[in-house]
Amino acid sequence: RGAKPPRVCKAIMAAPPPSAPGEPGPPPPPLQYSLLLQHLVGDKRQPRVWDPATLGGIPCPPKSEEQKMVERVMESCPFKAALACVGGFVLGGAFGIFTAGIDTNVGFDPKDPYRTPTAKEVLKDMGQRGISYAKNFAIVGAMFSCTECVVESYRGKSDWKNSVISGCITGGAIGFRAGLKAGVIGCGGFAAFSAAVDYYLR
């Protein structure tokens, strides 16, 4: 007997059916990385909820209605004005007492210039000056804070222009009591001071 020839297995590849003449051929199958990009940055991407606990952070529980109400109150203009009024009163009082402590004319009696004032008279003058400064600082602080909050709410922006506008309004309102010229000077001076402070703080 003669040896049989080796069997050769040929892989039969499926070919796309031939298209009719004049018609475009079938589109090629999409590549695998194209499908991957659709799931990563394409239309098939699923939104993920950011959870700090999955990244090792501290989970933040949802805010309650009481917490939201407290935040709304603290961000309101009346609360900011009241807080600035209290802060201005304390700062003005401390500044008044300090200036009275270094002033040599505290307790001075013009009728008897050679008389040495007593400690009670010096403390009385220091208290009066401290109260006067505290009232002025409280009024200015409340006016400035309330005006800035209203301007910021109206403009919808938080930038240096709010400080300049509120400073001009506050300085002009205080200076107009002494006349138009004093009001204009107060507006410009207070606006420039507010811009300088805002620039330094930012």
Tens of pLDDT, residue by residue over 57-105, are: 566 677 788 888 888 888 888 899 999 999 999 999 999 888 887 777 7
Average pLDDT of 100-111? 72
Alpha helix positions (H), the chain:
32-40, 65-74, 77-102, 119-155, 160-175, 180-201
Does residue 24 have a pLDDT over 90? no
- 110 and 162 Cβ atoms separated by less than 8 Å: no
What separation, in Å, do the N-terminal and C-terminal C-alpha atoms of the chain show?
A: 103
Does residue 9 have a pLDDT over 60? no
Does residue 43 have a pLDDT over 70? no
Burial of 150 (0-12, 13-18, 19+ CB in 10 A): middle
pLDDT band at 26 (very low <50, low <70, confident <90, very high): low
Percent of the chain with pLDDT over 90: 20
- 84 and 145 Cβ atoms separated by less than 8 Å: yes
Burial of 1 (0-12, 13-18, 19+ CB in 10 A): exposed
What does the alpha-carbon distance between residue 79 and residue 84 come to, in Å, rounded to a whole number?
9
Query: Which range has highest mean pLDDT (9-23, 26-40, 63-77, 84-98)?
Result: 84-98
What does the alpha-carbon distance between residue 143 and residue 124 come to, in Å, rounded to a whole number?
29
The per-residue pLDDT for range 140-155, each reduced to its tens digit, is 999 999 999 999 888 8
Which residues lie closer than 8 Å to 19 by C-beta, 6 or more apart? 25, 26
Compare 33 and 124 and report the one with higher pLDDT: 124
